[in-house]
Amino acid sequence: MSFDSIIGQPFAVDLCRQWLKRQTTHPLLFYGPASAEKKALALELAKVLNCGAREQGGKGAREQAIVSPSAPTSPSAPMADSCGCCLSCRKIAAGNHPDVRVIDLAWQAAERKEPVEKQQNLRIETVLTERHRLLQSPLEGSWKVSIIDEANRLTPDAANVLLKVLEEPPTHTAIILVTPFRDRLLPTILSRCQPVRFRQTERDVPLTHEEIESHRQAEALWESLTMTAPARLIQAAEGRTRIAKLGRAEIEEQVQRLLVPAARALRAGDMSAQEPVRLLQMALTQLRQNVQPALVYDHLLLRLASSRRLVKA
């Protein structure tokens, strides 16, 4: 793996190269369509920061190889690419480098000794543990790297803890947030990160038949909001019994799919979609909190239907 292996994202790669040259601890935010490139580029950055090819041997040489974050660029700055074959690069690729950690729902489940299926959000305990690690000295490499995947799943409490680290990152620490949904992060977190946008590529996985059908149902539900009574809408929307059994993540996905036609209408100049977009975004915020998912969905449909019917009237 190297920067050359990141296909179809020249803008993102260029921003990361510039970030390396500045030798800064400014947190990064990788956002855009769900694809493997975001996480792959984050891991490539971790390799470059800790690559053994630029090491001269021993702790003292590592300290010379990476100067302080505020220092100007010098010949001893991080390389433009990783070697991919030293022990450090191989450990990062294998996921067992002690100074590089990917925080996601799977990691949280392993730490809590719980099934992955039970993980709906990244909890405050998970972020507190990672913050403690970042405040410690590196064990093997020159930089500690924290890659927070699906950062949109941070609970409000967890996001506020993370914000404190983002405001003053420890020396030689790289924090990279990864998410397909930039708009679902706290504005204060967005303001602390350098945004790096990833674009849709041909390598992105195509939609399955089930996903296509789900989007079709969301489009149909959006169109029916002005024609169906709110009470009947709740009963009819994909089956009330099935909705009650869905977990927080599944309902969150349904709300996100419904946001697609609403946002499209607003971009097309339909100002009547402004209130529905606001309601949908509010529902996504509530779903990240300790509110019963089915109740959030019911309340959302009622308010959406009322809003759209008032506009039609």
Quote the pTM value: 0.64
Domain contains 154: yes
Question: The domain containing residue 153 runs over which residues?
Answer: 3-197
Per-residue pLDDT at 266: 78
CA distances from 1 to 48, 144, 147, 216, 311 (A): 11, 20, 17, 38, 54
Q: Which of 4-8, 89-93, 104-108, 113-117 has the lowest mean pLDDT?
A: 4-8
Domain contains 115: yes
Confirm if 93 and 1 have CB atoms less than 8 A apart: yes
Q: Are residues 86 and 12 located together in one domain of the fold?
A: yes
Cα distance between residue 173 and residue 168, in whole Å: 10
Q: Are residues 167 and 252 located together in one domain of the fold?
A: no
Domain contains 58: yes
Q: Are residues 74 and 117 located together in one domain of the fold?
A: yes
Domain contains 203: no
Last residue of a domain, one of 170, 197, 224: 197
Q: Are residues 124 and 183 located together in one domain of the fold?
A: yes
Task: Please name which of 43, 38, 51 lies closest in space to residue 77, comparing C-alpha atoms.
Answer: 51
Q: What is the DSSP letter of 55?
A: -
Give Rg (Cα) of the chain.
Answer: 22
Q: Name the amino acid, one letter, at 196.
A: V
Number of domains in the chain: 2
DSSP track, 117-134: GG--SB-HHHHHHHHHHH
Q: Are residues 255 and 112 located together in one domain of the fold?
A: no
Q: Are residues 147 and 222 located together in one domain of the fold?
A: no
Q: Are residues 193 and 229 located together in one domain of the fold?
A: no
Confirm if 182 and 150 have CB atoms less than 8 A apart: no
Task: Please name which of 283, 265, 285, 282 lies closest in space to residue 274, comparing C-alpha atoms.
Answer: 265
Domain contains 155: yes
Last residue of a domain, one of 172, 197, 222: 197
Q: Which residue has the higher pLDDT, 218 or 237?
A: 218
| Statement: residue 269 has pLDDT above 70 | yes
Q: Are residues 32 and 142 located together in one domain of the fold?
A: yes
Q: Name the amino acid, one letter, at 116.
A: V
Domain contains 167: yes
Domain contains 69: yes
| Statement: residue 65 has pLDDT above 60 | no
Q: Which of 48-57, 61-70, 271-280 has the highest mean pLDDT?
A: 271-280
Q: Are residues 147 and 74 located together in one domain of the fold?
A: yes
Cα distance between residue 31 and residue 181, in whole Å: 7
Q: Are residues 34 and 132 located together in one domain of the fold?
A: yes
Confirm if 40 and 203 have CB atoms less than 8 A apart: no
Domain contains 204: no
The predicted-structure confidence for 6-56, as pLDDT tens digits, reads as follows 777 888 999 999 999 988 999 999 998 866 689 989 999 999 999 987 554
The predicted-structure confidence for 166-211, as pLDDT tens digits, reads as follows 999 999 999 999 999 888 899 999 999 999 999 876 555 566 777 7
| Statement: residue 308 has pLDDT above 70 | no
